[in-house]
Amino acid sequence: MRRLTYSHVVACLLALASLQQSGLARAADLVPGEPALENGAGKPESDSPEGVLAILRAGGPVGMVIILLSVAALALVVEHMMTIREGVLMPPGLGDGVRKLLGEGKPAPARQMCRSRPSFLAFVLEAGLAEADDGWPAMEKAMEDAAADQSARLFRKIEYLSVIGNIAPMLGLLGTVIGMIFAFREVADTQGAARAADLATGIYLALVTTVEGLLVAIPSLAAFAVFRNRVDQLVAEAAYVAQHVFAPLKRSGTAGPPQGPSPPAPPPVGGR
């Protein structure tokens, strides 16, 4: 019984070895160029930097314009990430500092603090302080106008990303049309006898410019949507902070021109 068991084990081991050898042989047959791939000779050209540059150059002048737009879009995104932030538009401590100075009856130092820290919130607060002598309605109107002006500036600033996102696919479509013109001109010149290799240049140009335009337009429009929502949020927060800063003046009614002496009370009826 023990001899039979050992023989079975040996037979199984031999069968596994033969199966492994046959599997390796099949793998070698399926990948005949494996040594060339290891040496890098069989690597596709498009994966190398030279291949990518060749694809970019195939876009022609239209492709170069699209590449320049991509550089501009990247620069705008970096600039917006650095400037459209809560710490830049609403410097920390500015609202609390102005509220404290107003509570102490020091409007001039409050305006000086706003001027020393230029920002969205500082511009709105300074506009309200400039109309303090005309009462709370004038202050509120001045702050609303200042907030609208500053928010319009921010929206115009990020609008360039939307412009790039709309122009890039149009340029890609222009490159597509130019490439198809080249292809059909080849067909016309050869009286319909053009081969696929003769049409490949025009079609290649059409596809490259289309892809370049889409690759620039999609991130640009996405970034524009993100920054637009961020501007909306920060403008709403700045307006809330401004209302909070002037809340003591609004409740106490101290905003406005100083009132003169009150007229004497009329004598009581009946001489009493």
Tally the domains of the chain: 1
Does residue 135 belong to any structural domain of this protein? no
Spatial distance between the Cα atoms of 240 and 233, rounded to a whole number of angstroms: 11
Q: Where are the alpha helices (DSSP H) in the chain?
A: 2-30, 34-38, 49-57, 60-83, 86-89, 94-103, 107-116, 120-130, 136-189, 196-245, 247-252
Query: Lowest mean pLDDT: which of 169-173, 228-232, 245-249?
Result: 245-249
Spatial distance between the Cα atoms of 240 and 22, rounded to a whole number of angstroms: 76
Does residue 205 belong to any structural domain of this protein? yes
Confidence at residue 179, expressed as pLDDT on a 0 to 100 scale: 83
Spatial distance between the Cα atoms of 182 and 261, rounded to a whole number of angstroms: 89
Calculate mean pLDDT across residues 151-165.
94
Does residue 269 belong to any structural domain of this protein? no
To the nearest whole percent, how much of the chain has pLDDT over 90? 41
The residue written with tokens 């289309």 in the block is 210
* Three-state DSSP string of 173-186: HHHHHHHHHHHHHH
Calculate mean pLDDT across residues 223-242.
93
Residue 138, judged by CB atoms within 10 A of its CB (0-12, 13-18, 19+), counts as middle
Residues 18-71: pLDDT tens digits?
434 444 344 334 334 444 444 444 444 445 555 667 766 777 788 899 999 999
Instruction: List Cα–Cα distances, 39 to 27, 28, 36, 45, 51, in angstroms.
Output: 19, 16, 5, 14, 18
Does residue 204 belong to any structural domain of this protein? yes
Spatial distance between the Cα atoms of 94 and 86, rounded to a whole number of angstroms: 12
Instruction: List Cα–Cα distances, 217 to 127, 190, 203, 206, 230, in angstroms.
Output: 39, 37, 21, 17, 20
Domain housing 246? 46-91+154-252
Does residue 263 belong to any structural domain of this protein? no
Token representation of residue 163: 């412009």
Instruction: List Cα–Cα distances, 57 to 22, 64, 193, 217, in angstroms.
Output: 48, 8, 28, 19
Does residue 195 belong to any structural domain of this protein? yes
- Residue 8 vs residue 248, higher pLDDT: 248
Confidence at residue 216, expressed as pLDDT on a 0 to 100 scale: 94
- Residue 189 vs residue 259, higher pLDDT: 189
Rounded CA Rg of the chain: 37
- Band of residue 202 on the pLDDT scale cut at 50, 70, 90: confident
Does residue 259 belong to any structural domain of this protein? no
CB atoms within 10 A of CB 81: 13
What is the pTM (predicted TM-score) of this model?
0.68
Is 89 in contact with 119 (CB distance < 8 Å)?
Answer: yes
Does residue 129 belong to any structural domain of this protein? no
Cβ neighbours of residue 117 under 8 Å, at least 6 residues apart? 91, 94
* DSSP state, residue 214: H
- Residue 269 vs residue 169, higher pLDDT: 169
Spatial distance between the Cα atoms of 89 and 83, rounded to a whole number of angstroms: 8
The residue written with tokens 């199966």 in the block is 19
